């Protein structure tokens, strides 16, 4: 039962993080972009990491596994990139959006395929 709860919470966290990534680039106002990053992406990442820790402990997966370390670094780098983007005025969004999307997709790929 605990495994299902952790898994559900992790999916909610990932959905919030993805919504924050999308919300960082589509709204016209800078205030709305900042809200997406700080009120969706950041709590989503924290929720996802917390539930992921619970899943790793419950399934006895080592937190030192390379795919876990890589996904932690990639997701943190993506959040950092988002925070830098929403604090800058008049920046071309396309390269930032591409980098954030690749970070999100890369993190999800590592979590799903778990390469050794």
| Two structure tokens written together for 62 | 């080592």
Q: CA 82, CA 102: separation in Å to the nearest integer?
A: 12
Amino acid 116: pLDDT:
76
Q: Which of 62, 41, 57, 54 is nearest to 107 (CA)?
A: 41
Segments making up each domain of the chain, as ranges: 2-113
| Strand, helix or coil for residue 89 | coil
Global pTM value:
0.93
Distances (CA, A) of 45 to 1, 12, 48: 23, 10, 5
Q: Which of 20, 3, 8 is nearest to 101 (CA)?
A: 20
Amino acid 92: pLDDT:
85
Amino acid 101: pLDDT:
96
Per-residue pLDDT of the chain (116 residues; tens, 9 = 90+): 889 999 999 999 999 999 999 999 999 899 999 999 999 999 999 999 999 999 999 999 999 999 999 999 999 999 999 999 999 877 888 999 999 999 999 999 999 999 97
């Amino acid at each position: 039962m605990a495994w299902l709860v952790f898994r559900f919470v992790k999916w909610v966290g990932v959905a919030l993080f993805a919504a924050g990534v999308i919300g960082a680039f589509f709204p016209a106002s800078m205030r709305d972009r900042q809200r997406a990053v700080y009120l969706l992406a950041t709590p989503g990442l924290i929720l996802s990491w917390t539930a992921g820790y619970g899943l790793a402990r419950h399934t006895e997966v080592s937190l030192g596994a390379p795919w876990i370390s890589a996904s932690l670094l990639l997701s943190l780098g993506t959040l950092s990139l988002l925070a830098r983007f929403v604090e800058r005025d008049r920046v071309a969004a396309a390269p930032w959006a591409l980098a954030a999307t690749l970070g999100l997709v890369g993190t999800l790929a590592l979590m799903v395929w778990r390469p050794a």
